[in-house]
Amino acid sequence: MQKDKGHSRRKFLKTSAALATMAFLGAQTFANAKEAKMTKTAIPQRKIGDFKVSAIGLGCMGMSANHGPARDKKEMIKLLHKAVDLGYTFFDTAEVYGPHTNEELLGEALKGYKDKIIINTKFGFYYPFGKQQLDSGRKSIMRAVDGSLKRLKRDCIDLYTQHRVD
């Protein structure tokens, strides 16, 4: 097995699996991982356009929506900080997660890391009158951009993806 900058694939996968488990199980797993004294591991990098990001990103949907009840906000903020400490630089969210609460979570948790991370958010779903709609028209995209920028506490969106085709 070839090593990347002195770190084995096994160590990379072990660290990635630990963080994924922390995200899935929430606070209790985070406390256990903290006790196990997880250490920072260099995560291999990949290019997405002009960006260099961690080869494994962190999908954040389940932190605040769609997979059971929302996790404890304080614990998810700790988890996101730990992810950055471990070398994760790519985070994925969408305006529809919550709706809106996942972008708000990332905006609050990651505001101090703006120059160190890349956030991908998505558009195309929205909730007029409490009912989910698909809309990737110009007017809808402009509304979504404005909302995502505010919720993510950023002045630009790093990567912007259409969530579903109309």
Which amino acids are annotated catalytic?
97
Choose among 24, 135, 43: nearest CA to 87. 43
Which residue pairs from 33-41 have beta carbons closer than 8 angstroms and sit at least 24 positions apart in sequence? 33/82, 38/82, 38/86, 40/85, 40/86, 40/87, 41/7, 41/11, 41/12, 41/15, 41/86, 41/87
